[in-house]
Chain A
């Protein structure tokens, strides 16, 4: 049973517009959520995270929103840039991020110039 779900395998947006990547989870014990970004031929790199005690965390152009009641989080990228084109993985863990991460299947974002 997949505990972290990214139901959109791909997303295409125009440069300058907003990109919204979605993630749903089923395990109510998850209390820490992360987004990773992966370019081809490279390992995933940490992008942004959020604790379950918050509903929003912002870092520059990237904002993550958490809706605990819906077990849903989203990553907003504003404005989107061609360099943002990558695969984005949603991940979740228990115990404040200190336990094993469970990853979604990823969403491939393409930002068109």
Chain B
């Protein structure tokens, strides 16, 4: 089934630890995005990539880094996790040409303690 796969589905992480959230898509979409969802704050863009080899900062990029070595993968890394990074993280992709916006993954629930 075509779509976006995120891993892990959930994780409890000690503060100060490094963590990489994985995201893989099989739709050959050019653009990929990372959002975090927090109660009362909606979906906020962390980082994005318009095409393989390029990345850009979104609304809340601090404490996060991304890479886009190929079309399919877009991992999000927390170099040193802090409790304020407790959130649900969604990866999304788009072909930037269609009229349907983004396709989202199922999310990773991260708790930093």
Contacts and interface: CB of A to CB of B under 8 A. Distances in A.
Partners in one complex: yes
A49 B100 contact: yes
B84 interface: no
B33 interface: yes
A63 B94 CA distance: 24
Contacts of A98: 94, 96-97
Interface in A34-62: 34, 36, 41-46, 49, 51
Q: Which of B42, B99, B104 has the most CB of A within 10 A?
A: B42
A49 B33 CA distance: 20
Contact of A41 (B41, B42, B48, B106): B106
Contact of B104 (A6, A45, A105): A45
Q: Which of under 10, 10 to 19, 20 to 34, or 35 or more describes the interface residues of B?
A: 20 to 34
Q: Which of A49, A51, A100 is most buried by chain B, counting CB atoms within 10 A of its CB?
A: A100
Interface residues of A, number: 26
A106 B99 contact: no
A32 B42 contact: no
Interface in B10-63: 33, 35, 40-45, 48, 58
Contacts of A6: 42
A75 to B, nearest CB: 15
Interface of A: 6, 9, 32, 34, 36, 41-46, 49, 51, 89, 91, 93, 96-101, 103-106
Given A6-B42, A49-B101, A97-B98, 13 more contacts: A32-B99, A34-B101, A43-B92, A43-B107, A44-B102, A44-B104, A46-B100, A46-B101, A46-B103, A91-B101, A96-B99, A103-B42, A104-B42
Interface of B: 4, 33, 35, 40-45, 48, 58, 90, 92, 94, 96-107
